[in-house]
Amino acid sequence: MERAVVGQGAHIAAGSDAEAVARWLAEYRGSPKTLAAYRREAERLLLWLGERDMTLAEMRRDHLEAFEAFLADPQPSSRWVGPPRPRRADDWRPFRGPLSPASRRQSLVILQGMFAWLVEAGWVTHNPFRLMRDKRRRLDNRQGGIERYLEAPLWGWLWGWLDRPPEQGASARDRFEQARRRFVFGFAYLLAPRIAEMSAARMGDFRRREGRWWWQVVGKGGKSARIPVPPDMAKLLEEWRASLGLAGEPQPDDASPLLRALDGKRGIGDNRLYRLIRETFRGAADELESEQGEGARAWALRLRQATPHWLRHTALTHQAQAGVELRYLAATARHARLDTTARYLHAEDEAWHRQQSRHGLAERGGTRQGADATRDEPV
């Protein structure tokens, strides 16, 4: 195959794929979280191409299949997979592990947008993603219903476990960590924040106006929003502040971190918060199996699969099930599109299931099973 000429006819100042991608990333410098996510996916692709001595301009439709398979199983794992490390560390790796189907879709969505920009910039001549016949299914994140959430009974057990009083003789550190876990999970469940919003939250973001509490948050894309704080969250905040030795209500000018490290003063970052939540899920799964044995295996598996974003999905799903109107649910979620929020509505699934239960097999005695068993046979 004749090697593509890098950047021929380009409308950007770049001398390599890395420089061209850096120009694209610069478009997102106003949104640090988005920039970090896009840089991660672009870097993975560039490293993968580098292993094959290929350029972006040489990517074809069949390469996308190979790349998606690589995202699902980065091999050799010693070369690609490792724990979180500083980017310049010798043992830094691009992956923490294989990507889930949802994460692979998100990666392809990001890279599709990158290629579209590079085509407009004249750096490459075509976008291979446009040749994917099942592109809509593969690249559309607006899938059917949300599945990655904890059902109400499982959440009820989990919160009950988190809400247990400390054991007799627990150390000051154990008491602090238990109070922090309880607050983190309660905060996530009651207000449906993203993990970055939780780690960035300040005490003064909670403000009382005309007798009502609100949470002021700067979310995805730098958009500011104001979310109603329910009574349980106001009480949870008061209890968390008491565990830190603080007065019951924060002041509007209090810029100290909401979530604290073990010293009770410093904040905690996204990575530490992520690990804290995953560790809690795993600890809860172990406790559940210890308490209930073999019968709790399915629930324990769900807990071990859960990630911090499951808490947001759980919060929004349970709000929808509690009857919160779609417009208010969308405002809490801070979704730009109502059809994104509508994925959390499971009422139609339940109604469909009830209707379907009317259809059953005839029993040996000739009678029919199901809720509609007494219905007359059709003539």
Query: Does the residue 230 lie in any domain?
Result: yes
Q: What is the pLDDT along the chain (379 residues), one digit of tens a residue?
A: 334 445 556 789 999 999 999 999 999 888 888 888 899 999 999 999 999 999 999 999 889 889 988 998 999 989 999 988 888 888 999 999 888 887 888 898 899 999 999 999 999 999 998 887 655 445 544 444 456 889 989 999 999 999 999 988 999 999 999 999 999 999 999 998 988 899 999 999 999 988 889 999 887 767 788 888 989 999 999 999 999 999 888 998 999 999 999 999 999 988 899 999 999 999 999 999 999 988 889 999 999 989 888 998 898 888 888 887 777 777 777 765 545 555 555 544 555 456 556 655 655 555 544 444 444 443 3
Same domain for 275 and 180, yes or no, is yes
Contact 203, 240 (CB under 8 A): no
Query: Does the residue 69 lie in any domain?
Result: yes
Ranges of beta strands (E only) in 210-267 are 212-218, 224-228
Structural domain range at position 285: 152-349
How is residue 379 annotated by DSSP?
Answer: -
Same domain for 179 and 314, yes or no, is yes
Same domain for 158 and 302, yes or no, is yes
Residue finishing a domain among 139, 168, 192: 139
Calpha distance 282→305 (Å, rounded): 9
Distance of CA 236 to the CA centre of its chain: 23
Same domain for 121 and 194, yes or no, is no
Same domain for 133 and 178, yes or no, is no
How open is the CA angle 335-96-86, to the nearest 5 degrees? 95
Angle between helices 101-120 and 17-26 (to 10 degrees): 100
Q: What is the DSSP string of 109-136?
A: HHHHHHHHHHHHTTSSS--GGGG-TTHH
Calpha distance 42→34 (Å, rounded): 12
Question: Which are the contacts of 308, defined by CB distance < 8 A and separation ≥ 6?
Answer: 188, 195, 273, 274, 277, 278
User: Which residues are bridge partners to 213 per DSSP?
Assistant: 208
Same domain for 33 and 180, yes or no, is no
Contact 357, 370 (CB under 8 A): yes
Q: Is 132 exposed, middle or buried (0-12, 13-18, 19+ CB in 10 A)?
A: middle
Number of domains forming the structure of the chain: 2
Query: Does the residue 361 lie in any domain?
Result: no
Query: Does the residue 367 lie in any domain?
Result: no
* Predicted pLDDT at 144: 47
Query: Does the residue 369 lie in any domain?
Result: no
Query: Does the residue 304 lie in any domain?
Result: yes
Q: Which residue has the tokens 């990655």?
A: 148
Same domain for 32 and 123, yes or no, is yes
Same domain for 177 and 272, yes or no, is yes
CATH number at residue 78: 1.10.150.130
Same domain for 161 and 307, yes or no, is yes
CATH number at residue 252: 1.10.443.10
Burial of 12-46, coded b for 16+ CB within 10 Å and e otherwise, reads bebeebeebbebbbeebeeeebbeeebbebbebbb
Query: Does the residue 305 lie in any domain?
Result: yes
Rg over CA atoms, the chain: 25
Same domain for 126 and 189, yes or no, is no
Residue finishing a domain among 113, 139, 165: 139
* Predicted pLDDT at 133: 63
- Run of H or E including 207: strand 206-209
Same domain for 34 and 93, yes or no, is yes
Contact 252, 204 (CB under 8 A): yes
Query: Does the residue 376 lie in any domain?
Result: no
pTM higher than 0.75? no
Residue finishing a domain among 114, 139, 164: 139
Same domain for 54 and 197, yes or no, is no
